Structure 1
Amino acid sequence: MSLVLRLIGPIRLMAGGDQDITPRGAKARAVLVLLAMAPGRRMARVALQDKLYSESPGEQGAAALRQLLRDLRLALAGHAGVLESGPGWLALSGAVQVDLSPGASAGRPAEFAEGLDVADPEFDDWLRDLRLSLEDAGPAPPSPRLPVLAVFEPEGADDQARLLGAMLVHEASAKAAELIPSDMIPGAMLQGRPRGQSVHAICLGSGDQAIIMVMLRDLATGQQIMTQRHALPRKGSGPALRQALATLTYAIVQAALRFAAPDQPIFPLADLFSFTRQRLIRADERLERAPEIGEGALGLSMRAYLRYTLILERQTHDPEARLAEAEGFLHRARALAPGDATVLSLSALLRSWKRDVAGALDLSRLALRLCPDSDLARHVLSQALTDAGRDREALAMALRAGTGPMALIGQATWLLRRMVSQMRLGQLDHAEESAAAALAHAPDNRPSLRFLAALRYRRGDEAGTVDALSRLRALEPDFTLDLMASPDYPVTTLRRMGLLDVTRSGL
Structure 2
Amino acid sequence: MEQRVKARLQLYGRFRLEAPDGTDISPKSAKSQALIALLATNETGSRGRLWLQKRLWPNSGADRAATSLRQALSEIRRSLGDHRDLLKTDRRAACLSLDTLDIAEADEGAEFMEGLGLPANDHALEDWLAHHRGEREAAPSGAPATRAPAPADASQRQIYVAAELRMPVVVFRTLNGSSPGGSGDLGLIEDIFVDSVARSMRETLSADVRVGGEAPSSAFRAEVQAFRGDGAAVGIRARVHHGSPDRLVWSGMTSTQLHGAPPVEDLQFVSLGNQLIDALAEAMTQSITDSRDIRDANLLTRLAIRRIFCLRPEALVEADEMLLRARELGAGALSTAWRAQLRVIQHVERHETASPDLPEEARRLCIDAMEREPMNSMVLAAVANTRLVLDKDVSVCLELARRSVSLNPANPLAWNSLATAKLYAGEIAEAHALAVRAQKMSSGSPFGHWWDFGRCLTAALTGRRDEALRLAEAAHALSPEFRPPLRYLTALYAAADRPDDAIRVGERLRRLEPDFSFERLAMDDSYPVSPLRWSGLLDSGKVMELSG
Same fold (TM over 0.5): yes
For 2:510, the aligned partner's letter is R
For 2:236, the aligned partner's letter is I
1:306-329 CA-to-partner distances (Å, cap 9, x unmatched) read: 221122222234464222222221
In the other structure, the counterpart of 1:487 is 525
Structure 1 residue 165 and structure 2 residue 165: aligned? Answer: no
2:477 is matched with which residue: 423, 436, 440? 440
2:47 is matched with which residue: 110, 117, 124? 110
- Residue 202 of structure 1: how far off its partner (Å): 3.9
- Residue 342 of structure 1: how far off its partner (Å): 1.9
Structure 1 residue 146 and structure 2 residue 184: aligned? Answer: no
1:22-53 CA-to-partner distances (Å, cap 9, x unmatched) read: xxxxxxxxxxxxxxxxxxxxxxxxxxxxxxxx
- Partners of 2:166 and 2:66 in 1: CA distance: 33
- Partners of 2:545 and 2:332 in 1: CA distance: 49
Report the TM-score when normalising by structure 2.
Answer: 0.66
In the other structure, the counterpart of 1:71 is none
In the other structure, the counterpart of 1:68 is none
Report the RMSD for the aligned CA atoms in angstroms: 3.3
1:266-290 CA-to-partner distances (Å, cap 9, x unmatched) read: 2223223221122222222222223
- Partners of 2:452 and 2:535 in 1: CA distance: 19
Matched position secondary structure for 1:290: helix
For 1:299, the aligned partner's letter is S
1:29-79 CA-to-partner distances (Å, cap 9, x unmatched) read: xxxxxxxxxxxxxxxxxxxxxxxxxxxxxxxxxxxxxxxxxxxxxxxxxxx
The structure-2 alpha-carbon separation of the partners of 1:199 and 1:135, relative to structure 1 and needing over 3 Å to count, comes to farther
Identity of aligned residues (%): 23
For 2:215, the aligned partner's letter is L
Matched position secondary structure for 1:198: strand
In the other structure, the counterpart of 1:264 is 296
- Residue 200 of structure 1: how far off its partner (Å): 1.7
In the other structure, the counterpart of 1:241 is 269
- Partners of 1:234 and 1:449 in 2: CA distance: 41
- Residue 405 of structure 1: how far off its partner (Å): 4.7
Q: Greater relative contact order (Cα 8 A, min sep 6): structure 1 or 2? A: 1
The structure-2 alpha-carbon separation of the partners of 1:503 and 1:167, relative to structure 1 and needing over 3 Å to count, comes to same
Alignment of 1:99-498 (within 5 A): 103-104=38-39, 107-110=44-47, 112-113=49-50, 128-129=70-71, 131-133=73-75, 141-143=118-120, 144-155=165-176, 156=179, 157-191=182-216, 193-194=217-218, 196-207=219-230, 208-235=232-259, 237=263, 238-239=265-266, 240-258=268-286, 263-265=295-297, 266=299, 267=301, 268=303, 269-292=305-328, 296-318=332-354, 320-353=356-389, 354-405=391-442, 408-484=445-521, 485-498=523-536
- Residue 452 of structure 1: how far off its partner (Å): 0.9
Matched position secondary structure for 1:228: strand
The structure-2 alpha-carbon separation of the partners of 1:212 and 1:502, relative to structure 1 and needing over 3 Å to count, comes to same
Deviates more, 1:448-457 or 1:357-366: 357-366
- Residue 347 of structure 1: how far off its partner (Å): 1.8
- Partners of 1:472 and 1:292 in 2: CA distance: 37
Report the TM-score when normalising by structure 1.
Answer: 0.70
- Partners of 1:101 and 1:151 in 2: CA distance: 38
- Partners of 1:218 and 1:142 in 2: CA distance: 23
- Paired residues, what number? 402
- Partners of 2:375 and 2:204 in 1: CA distance: 17
For 1:501, the aligned partner's letter is G
In the other structure, the counterpart of 1:505 is 545
- Partners of 2:48 and 2:468 in 1: CA distance: 54
The structure-2 alpha-carbon separation of the partners of 1:295 and 1:164, relative to structure 1 and needing over 3 Å to count, comes to closer
For 1:331, the aligned partner's letter is I
1:230-281 CA-to-partner distances (Å, cap 9, x unmatched) read: 3344445342322332333333333333356954332223223221122222
- Partners of 1:312 and 1:112 in 2: CA distance: 44
- Residue 482 of structure 1: how far off its partner (Å): 3.2
1:107-140 CA-to-partner distances (Å, cap 9, x unmatched) read: 1243645899xxxxxx999874453136669977
